[in-house]
Each structure stands twice: as structure tokens, then as C-alpha cells.
Amino acid sequence: MKKLISQIFVPFCCLLFLTFLFFSLNPISEQIIDFLKKDPELVLKPSNQYQKNEEFSFVKSTTNFVPYSKQDIKNIFYSIVNNGWSDFTFYCPNEYVRCLEDMKEFSKNQDLLTHLNNFVHPYNGFSNVRTTISETGEIQISVDYFYNDLEKQQINAKIDAIYEEIITEDMDLEKKILTIHDYIINHTKYDVSRNNDGESEYRSYIAYGPLLEGFATCNGYTDAMALFLTKLEVPNFKVAMTPEENSSSAGHVWNAVYLNDAWVHLDLTWDDPVSSDGKDYLQHKYFLITTKQLVEVDSGEVTVTEHDFKRSIYRELKET
């Protein structure tokens, strides 16, 4: 009799356990099912004050953070950086079958990330971006930015002071840009040490270098000019030359400016040449010139390749 009771008791206990397990796991199961629907609520933070509102041909700001194509992924990433968000999470929908593969490919494309960085305000330019991709479809983006709050405060104060000193309201827009171009060059030396060795005591790779320390690489010149152009409410972005694989060139960056209904080039670095005699020179060879003029200037006795840029990315800068 005891054996029979034991045989009945064991299945009963198993049934009781399974019933308990079902009801205890049911809320968790519902959470998993809800997550796999790929329709979780996104957390959208306010944009910072440096968000750009311009529309570009290559990439556009978006408020729709559900991707269905590679272009959507580019637009979402651009919008995250353009909004100044340090972290953001979005999700791949079921309908976009290659979403995870495309996202992994995108996150490893440093060339593309560099170019996307050129379309945002300098203060929203990132120094590093980390992407965590979950097989469930969750994409987490974490962004480190070049400028800290103190640097932005100091640079903004310096820009206001310079503007008050050199700009007058009777100047037309081109004259204002020329005056700022000349001021930056006359108060800045190219940071040869950082260019040659990758090391320098100056923060020459951002606008802090030329505006507060007097030294810049092409990145510093370009950021400083971009900040002034934005203050003048002139649409602008940065243009990057990407070195060919195995090239000894470190790359180059300069400004694109929208003036008189056309996009033109502005390169302070090449208008502030490093001279063999140690003297300071100021040129205007690369001041507000068209793409056609840029090609002509670079095709002189010595061919310049540092301005070779991808037309498929910087589509505003047309040959005509």
C-alpha cells in the first residue's frame, strides 16, 4: 500500500511543480514574447543646442528610429550624433531581415563613420563610438564626443571676443568670412609636431588649439572656421579626403560653405602654408572656390592630392 501511495504521490508532485512553474514563468514568457515583437518603446531625449537643421544629400536627420534599409541605419546614426546623445537604443524590425548583418557591417566601417561625422556641428563630433548588437535585434549606441563642457565654454567666449574685435556690421557676408579666415591664419601656426609624431602639447586637433593656443592641424583649423560660419548662420559642413589603402598620407579635412546659392570650398590649412624659411604666410588660393577651381589650383606644377574627395558622399560640391 505504501508503494502505491508513493507512486501516486510522485506524479502528483511533478504535476504540482509544473503547474507552479507555468504560472511563475508566465509573466516572464509574456515579456519575452513582447520583446520579440520588436516593437518596444524608444526613449527619445531632447536634442542639444548644437543640433543642425540642414538637409544633406548623403544623410538626413530623422525622427523615425525603426530601420528598414542601409540608408535608414545611416540616418539613424547621424541623428543620434547630430542630436548630441551620448547613448541610444533602437531595434531591428522583423521585416528587415538583413538588419543585424547591415548594422554589423556599418559599425565596422570607420571610413563611413568619419564622413558622417563631418555633417554635424563640431561640438557634436564624436571621438569614439561603441555599438552593441544583440541577436534579439537590440542595437545600443554609445558616443564619446571630442569637446567637454569647459572647452566649449572657453571656445565660445573666445569666438565672441574675436567677433566683437574684428567684425563690423557694415561688412558683407563674404568680407566677414575673409576677415575671420585671415585672423585665424595670422594667429595660428600649423602643429608640425602632431602631424609628424602624432604627439603634441597642444589641443591642435580641435578648435581649442587655434583659438586659445595658437596651434592647429587641419582638424583644428576646420572646426574653428566651422564654428564662426555657424555663428554667421552660414550653412556648412566638413569635407574629408580619405587616404588610399597603404598610403602614407594622414588624410585631410576642410570646410564646405554655402554662399550665394552655391557650395564652395574653404581651406585654411592650405592657405597657411608651412614655409622652409620659417616666415608666416597668408594666402587666399583656397578661399571660397568652386570644385572646378579647386581641381585647377591643385593641378599646378606640383599636383596636390589632399583634396581628392568622394563625390558620392559630398554631393553638394559639384564640378559645375
pLDDT, tens digit, 9 for 90 and up, residues 161-202: 999 999 999 999 999 999 999 999 999 999 998 888 888 999
Q: What is the mean pLDDT of residues 283-305?
A: 92
Query: In this model, does residue 263 exceed pLDDT 70?
Result: yes
**Residue 276 banded pLDDT, cuts 50, 70, 90:** low
Q: Which helix (H) or strand (E) holds 189?
A: strand 189-190
* The three grid cell numbers given for residue 172, joined into one nine-digit string: 558683407
pLDDT, averaged across the chain: 88
Q: What is the pLDDT of residue 65?
A: 97
Task: Convert the pLDDT of each residue in 40-72 to its tens digit.
Answer: 778 889 999 999 998 899 999 999 999 999 999
The share of the chain scoring above pLDDT 70, in percent, equals 84
Task: List alpha helices for 2-69, DSSP H.
Answer: 2-36
Of residues 110 and 10, more confidently modeled: 110
Collapsing DSSP to helix, strand or coil, 109 comes out as: coil
> DSSP string covering 232-270, please?
TT--EEEEEEPPPTT-S---EEEEEEEETTEEEEE-TTT
Query: Poorest-confidence range of 114-128, 144-158, 277-291?
Result: 277-291
Distance between CA atoms of residues 11 and 161, nearest Å = 84
- DSSP-derived letter for residue 88 is E
Amino acid at 184: I
Q: Which helix (H) or strand (E) holds 227?
A: helix 218-231
Go through the domains of the chain in sequence order and give each one's CATH number.
36-146 (no CATH), 149-297 (3.10.620.30)
**Residue 9 banded pLDDT, cuts 50, 70, 90:** very low
Distance between CA atoms of residues 61 and 185, nearest Å = 33
* DSSP strand pairing (287-289 vs 262-266): antiparallel
